Structure 1
Amino acid sequence: MKNDGLLVKFLIWRVKHVSNKNFVLFLAGIIGLIAGVAAVTLKESVHFIQNQLISEFAIENGNYYYLGFPLVGILITVVISRFLLRENLGHGITQILYDIAKNSALIKRSKMFSRMVTSAITVGFGGSVGLEAPIVVTGSAIGSNVGRAMHLNYKKRTILIGCGAAGAISAIFNSPVAGVIFSMEVIMADVTIAMFIPLLIASVTGALVSLSLLGDDVLFSFKLIDSFTASDTPYYILLGIFCGLVSVYFTRMTYMVEGLIAKVKDRFGRAIVGGILLGFVIFLFPPMYGEGYNTIKLLLANRELEILHTSPFFNEIDNVYIVFGFIFGVILMKPIASALTIGSGGSGGIFAPSLFLGGVTGFMFATVLNVITWGDANVSTSNFTLVGMCGVMSGVLYAPLTAIFLIAEITSGYELFVPLMLVSAISFSTSSFFEKHSLYTKHLIERGDLIQYDKDRQVLSQIDLLKIIEKDLLTIQPEATLEQLVNLVRISKRNIFPVVNENQELVGVVTLDDIRNIMFDKEKQKDTVVKNYMHSPPAFVSSHENMQSVMSKFEISGAWNLPVIDHGKYVGFLSKSRIFNTYRKKLIRHNRE
């Protein structure tokens, strides 16, 4: 109570002395600071766990511990999420987008720490996913709950969610520009200059925290060795197409594997099945263990043979066909490993897997190109590895600008900016030709829970159907007499009377127009039953439908009122005029905010 009193006093003082604009800028810096600390903490926690588990592995052996570690990590994660956190994990950024679109930008308080704990365990024990999505969820939850505590409105809370995401990405990669652009491309669909400045402050703050605590020991960085050659442009065009196709494979394989493992209904049974399969995949392909950035570093340093260390194929390290086959197997199996991790109950994201897959794809492409041209191409494998990371990330996340600036900042320069732009654009175009939406948004858009780049539909989607159902209409049974109906007309303020049977099922509708000619006929009042004058409504609505579907039914039927039926039972009526009135109020409020 004492703390609540202090908060109230602070908020009163703030309203008197600090403008909303300046206050949001101040909060953006605080959120960026906290998100940066959280990112560093998560990174160090995962690396500590991994060092404790696998640092002593013998490079010449296929270490059988790989078969068990992922299973243990996923089981611990499921226990924590089921009994302590009481929440489903899944794709965290998808849930953030849902909370912004359908939950007034309010994110559960537990998410300020839950994804850090669960992802540290999942990835530390070998889950083949990344830390970026969990830390974005953490930063976004911090932003949302700070906004809620400060009694800020929906739009301001959304800005702070974006600040948390920007600060998290900036800190984990030491890439402030990529952090801002990621927040704009993925988290916030409608960005104005007023929103842009807080994102900058949060992102810069996150990067400063990372630099202060980690120095150069960031998640992933690389100094360019080879320069870009314009004569390689045709090869980069081909790489862009190839990255786009690999992105489509990643997306569709993820959906398929997650769908298959979801058929195991028991949560612990699903964790056991997924964990065992994941362990087997990692045993055959050790680069799948954890995020995979160490593998990318080996490829960039032309030490590709070392990725076979601790694998069953170590003794075949001198066989070039085995090495190529191994790398190709990594490309094929990475989406499966990531989907098994998330689908079986683990915590993590697809950000790192897309970068990993892109790096291996770029390296494979350049190596094969150099082989089949007998050295005439002589392209840089390190450059193609980096640009491949950009290409697949663009094609999977549908965030082409984020991919471009992330790799540019990782390499501490813009030497590869032209090929990055080229490959990112081609990969995105290729991927979006086959898949209209990204992994983050596909299910939300198909359900009508997320509407991008359409202000009218965005406002319409914010209307809560349950709150505008009209339940004051007086019902009557089909066997009732006209006299009983006339008695209802006398006390009702409406001209629609739902005809409902004893099981609360709607069997028809009677309006005043239907009985106007006979309602005052005393003889017919006693002999005529309601069912003789009722008619079927032109359409039905469910309270679980999205507003786009509801408005489509109004438009097609031409009706101004439609009944709401849930599970066969009559609930009430929806009025088009009330929807329009609610829409107008929300639009005015949205513009004011």
Structure 2
Amino acid sequence: MQKIWYQITEHLIPVFRRRLSGVDALPQLAVLGLLSGLITGGVILIFRLAIEWPLERFLPGEGSESFENLDLLTRGLLPLAGALSLGLLFHRLATHDRKVGVVHVMERLNYHQGYISIRSAIVQFISGVATVVSGQSAGREGPAVHLGAAFSSLMGQWMRLPNNSIRTLVACGCAAAISASFNTPISGVIFAMEVVMMEYTIAGFTPIILAAVSAAVVTQAVYGSEPAFNVPALTMNSLLEIPWILAIAVIIGIAAALFIQLVDTMGKHHHRPVLLRIVTAGLLMVPFAILVPETMGIGYDTVNETINGQLGFWLLLGAGVAKLIITSLSIGLGMPSGVIGPTLFMGATLGGAMGLIGAQIMPEHASSVGVYAILGMGAMMGAVLQAPLAALMALMELTHNANIILPGMLIITTSSLVTSEAFGKKSLFLTILKNQGLSYQNSPVIQALRRVSVGAIMDRSILRTERHLTVGDARKVLKSEPKWLVVEGSNGPTALLPAVDLARYIEDTEKLVSEEEIEPPESIDLMDIPANRRDVAPVQYQATLEEALDEFESTNAEALYVQRHVAPMIQRVYGVVLKSDIESYYQYRRS
């Protein structure tokens, strides 16, 4: 058994890592995608149980969302007490430990190659459960995405995988989380690539699809195969409804722009104490909880009632507007709430309200309220996240109805265009990142460099050697025919020397000794002989080509030696990378 474990750790895993450093390691990525989906599916099950179990026992009535059945005093005190508890928790945490949600995942991808800590996952789990259980206007999908990305990243870190693979694992975790939350694997895949990664790659699709499918299987084993909402058979009655659908798209596009603007405006107070901001968000929630209790919690019970036409116009309009206002204010002030669930709530209620108006205007042609509610959900999600394809896929999977595609494409693209072009709003997540003084680089060059590790292009034909060598030692060094000599100094490698320059120096010296009959040198100083030496700096084996280029810029080095920690205080050098190698590789891949 010990021998088998030795073979796995010393031979199989290093080969696995080496293959993953390239861009075309599909079999290895597929295995990682399956593992990521299974792990994320299990984590999301625990997360949902942590939310539903206390609510089912605490709330009167059936289910875990019946906040409306609480008495007025409890409805007012519950979100305030929850906000105070969350504020105290975040007050005790360091600033970098307070960051949670999809925005934090995007930040870690852009600035830290997808490395997410276990501490961050624990904070997200606790805060995600607390926001929903305490009746804040919150969703569970944002925290679920963070948890899926975190545990997938932690798996990659534990296996010491290259950074390009950890980035793919983070995308797998995001897709698996959405798939497990809504039972919508296709929209999970598109969400991960359109919203989080902001790129589509053939190599990326396979592991992300496998992650989404395996996570859906895990949750279906516990919750069944039904989607998150009870959607009846829906169809658009007449093409004459298209003008009204376009009008609704404009209204929802305006509502989405207002939502993003309110989050942006409140986010400008991020320099104020976190305890003050979160308690203020709790205080703002109190009147909404008392007057419009439908805004409390996730609100999927209200969404289901809207889809099935069980709510009146004024309740739908009031709940939709109230949800928009309190959710945007809360998120802007720093409440660790998910945003995907609230966008679906807002879209369903506002779309349902507009559907009732349409039924009054043209009763003989108008479709059911459920059709407009579903279309509103897709339109609001697409406009707020600027992810029209993910929103359309979500509509298809939630309804299991191909008849929704035509009006869905129309309303989602129109509302997204109104929000982005008429009002100049970017995705909510990019807006929050910008508010924090951060950006998200997604140029084609950066994306290409992030997909490949230095291990894929490094030159392994190297030999580490001391600076001072005898002629005999120099000959032994050249006997193994390395391309590069890594010259050791007192604190590690100090220079890179072409082996051919040393060979030429020995040949010239021998010729000089024989012609002029002088004494041969006792030793050779590799830092003194005529040679094309290059200053070097270290780069970790897991680093991507983007990180390597950043290292070149920050150190002004002419070459990087690729190293990895193999034991405490021991670094092993695996190869060297020149800046020209990175440029040549990118040019080759592009052509």
TM-score by length of 2: 0.70
Deviations 1:413-455 (A, max 9, x none): 2220111111111111111111342111125458463122342
**Residue in structure 1 matching 2:80, options 71, 75, 87:** 71
Question: Per the alignment, do residues 300 and 151 of structure 1 end up closer, same or farther by CA in structure 2, a change over 3 Å counting?
Answer: same
Q: Is the 8 A contact 2:382 2:416 kept in 1?
A: yes
Q: Is the 8 A contact 1:274 1:340 kept in 2?
A: yes
**Residue in structure 1 matching 2:439, options 439, 445, 449:** 449
Q: 1:292 Cα deviation (Å)? A: 1.2
Equivalent AA in structure 1 for residue 43 of structure 2: A
Q: Partner residue of 1:276? A: 283
CA distance, structure 1, for counterparts of residue 362 and residue 239 of structure 2: 20
Q: 1:44 Cα deviation (Å)? A: 2.7
Question: Per the alignment, do residues 459 and 159 of structure 1 end up closer, same or farther by CA in structure 2, a change over 3 Å counting?
Answer: closer
Q: Partner residue of 1:428? A: 416
Q: Is the 8 A contact 2:78 2:134 kept in 1?
A: yes
Equivalent AA in structure 1 for residue 293 of structure 2: P
Q: Is the 8 A contact 1:387 1:420 kept in 2?
A: yes
Q: 1:332 Cα deviation (Å)? A: 2.4
Equivalent AA in structure 2 for residue 378 of structure 1: A
**Residue in structure 2 matching 1:387, options 355, 375, 382:** 375
Q: Partner residue of 1:255? A: 264
Mapped pair 1:285 → 2:286: no
**Residue in structure 2 matching 1:396, options 378, 384, 406:** 384
Q: Is the 8 A contact 2:234 2:401 kept in 1?
A: no
Q: 1:62 Cα deviation (Å)? A: 5.8
Equivalent AA in structure 2 for residue 231 of structure 1: L
Question: Per the alignment, do residues 190 and 299 of structure 1 end up closer, same or farther by CA in structure 2, a change over 3 Å counting?
Answer: closer
Mapped pair 1:190 → 2:199: yes
Q: Partner residue of 1:418? A: 406
Deviations 1:13-40 (A, max 9, x none): 2335795432321121111011112222
CA distance, structure 1, for counterparts of residue 193 and residue 398 of structure 2: 19
Q: Partner residue of 1:476? A: none
CA distance, structure 1, for counterparts of residue 222 and residue 116 of structure 2: 28
Q: 1:582 Cα deviation (Å)? A: 8.8
Question: Per the alignment, do residues 449 and 52 of structure 1 end up closer, same or farther by CA in structure 2, a change over 3 Å counting?
Answer: same
- Residue correspondence of structure 1 range 362-381 to structure 2 within 5 A: 362-371=351-360, 373=361, 375-381=363-369
Q: Is the 8 A contact 2:87 2:276 kept in 1?
A: no
Question: Per the alignment, do residues 46 and 396 of structure 1 end up closer, same or farther by CA in structure 2, a change over 3 Å counting?
Answer: same
Q: Is the 8 A contact 1:123 1:291 kept in 2?
A: yes
SS at match of 1:95: helix
Mapped pair 1:164 → 2:154: no
Q: Is the 8 A contact 1:43 1:219 kept in 2?
A: no
Mapped pair 1:205 → 2:214: yes
CA distance, structure 1, for counterparts of residue 68 and residue 144 of structure 2: 32
CA distance, structure 1, for counterparts of residue 233 and residue 376 of structure 2: 15
Q: Is the 8 A contact 2:267 2:334 kept in 1?
A: no
Deviations 1:147-175 (A, max 9, x none): 12222222111111000011110111111
CA distance, structure 1, for counterparts of residue 84 and residue 5 of structure 2: 42
Q: Partner residue of 1:353? A: 342
Q: Is the 8 A contact 1:254 1:336 kept in 2?
A: no
SS at match of 1:416: helix
- Residue correspondence of structure 1 range 102-501 to structure 2 within 5 A: 102-216=111-225, 218-259=227-268, 262=270, 265-305=272-312, 324=314, 326-371=315-360, 373=361, 375-433=363-421, 434-444=423-433, 447=437, 449-455=439-445
CA distance, structure 1, for counterparts of residue 75 and residue 388 of structure 2: 35
Q: Is the 8 A contact 2:183 2:220 kept in 1?
A: yes
CA distance, structure 2, for counterparts of residue 230 and residue 388 of structure 1: 18
CA distance, structure 1, for counterparts of residue 116 and residue 416 of structure 2: 30
SS at match of 2:252: helix
CA distance, structure 2, for counterparts of residue 245 and residue 158 of structure 1: 34
Question: Per the alignment, do residues 154 and 7 of structure 1 end up closer, same or farther by CA in structure 2, a change over 3 Å counting?
Answer: farther
Q: RMSD of the alignment, in Å?
A: 3.7
Q: Partner residue of 1:503? A: none
Q: Is the 8 A contact 1:137 1:165 kept in 2?
A: yes
Question: Per the alignment, do residues 169 and 221 of structure 1 end up closer, same or farther by CA in structure 2, a change over 3 Å counting?
Answer: farther
Q: 1:282 Cα deviation (Å)? A: 1.5
Range moving further from structure 2, 171-180 or 102-111: 102-111
Question: Per the alignment, do residues 121 and 231 of structure 1 end up closer, same or farther by CA in structure 2, a change over 3 Å counting?
Answer: same
Q: Partner residue of 2:34? A: 29
Question: Per the alignment, do residues 26 and 244 of structure 1 end up closer, same or farther by CA in structure 2, a change over 3 Å counting?
Answer: same
CA distance, structure 1, for counterparts of residue 578 and residue 81 of structure 2: 51
Q: Partner residue of 2:519? A: none
CA distance, structure 2, for counterparts of residue 202 and residue 7 of structure 1: 29
Equivalent AA in structure 2 for residue 25 of structure 1: A
Question: Per the alignment, do residues 336 and 436 of structure 1 end up closer, same or farther by CA in structure 2, a change over 3 Å counting?
Answer: closer
Deviations 1:359-404 (A, max 9, x none): 0111011111222x26344332110000000001000001111111
Q: Is the 8 A contact 2:59 2:67 kept in 1?
A: no
Question: Per the alignment, do residues 6 and 284 of structure 1 end up closer, same or farther by CA in structure 2, a change over 3 Å counting?
Answer: farther
Range moving further from structure 2, 35-44 or 290-299: 35-44
Q: 1:331 Cα deviation (Å)? A: 2.6
CA distance, structure 1, for counterparts of residue 405 and residue 224 of structure 2: 25
CA distance, structure 1, for counterparts of residue 50 and residue 354 of structure 2: 34
Q: 1:291 Cα deviation (Å)? A: 1.2
Q: Is the 8 A contact 2:238 2:366 kept in 1?
A: no
Q: 1:220 Cα deviation (Å)? A: 2.7
Q: Is the 8 A contact 2:101 2:146 kept in 1?
A: yes
CA distance, structure 1, for counterparts of residue 125 and residue 67 of structure 2: 30
Question: Per the alignment, do residues 585 and 136 of structure 1 end up closer, same or farther by CA in structure 2, a change over 3 Å counting?
Answer: farther
Q: 1:457 Cα deviation (Å)? A: 9.1
Q: Is the 8 A contact 1:258 1:339 kept in 2?
A: no
Q: Partner residue of 1:38? A: 43
Deviations 1:233-270 (A, max 9, x none): 2222222222211110111122223435x47x333233
Unaligned runs of 5+ in 1: 306-322, 463-560, 562-572
Equivalent AA in structure 1 for residue 418 of structure 2: T
Question: Per the alignment, do residues 383 and 583 of structure 1 end up closer, same or farther by CA in structure 2, a change over 3 Å counting?
Answer: farther
Q: Partner residue of 2:102? A: 93
Question: Per the alignment, do residues 456 and 107 of structure 1 end up closer, same or farther by CA in structure 2, a change over 3 Å counting?
Answer: closer
CA distance, structure 2, for counterparts of residue 429 and residue 345 of structure 1: 28
Q: Is the 8 A contact 1:11 1:150 kept in 2?
A: no
Q: 1:122 Cα deviation (Å)? A: 0.9
Deviations 1:200-253 (A, max 9, x none): 100100111111011146533423244553332222222222221111011112
Q: 1:347 Cα deviation (Å)? A: 2.2
Equivalent AA in structure 2 for residue 268 of structure 1: L
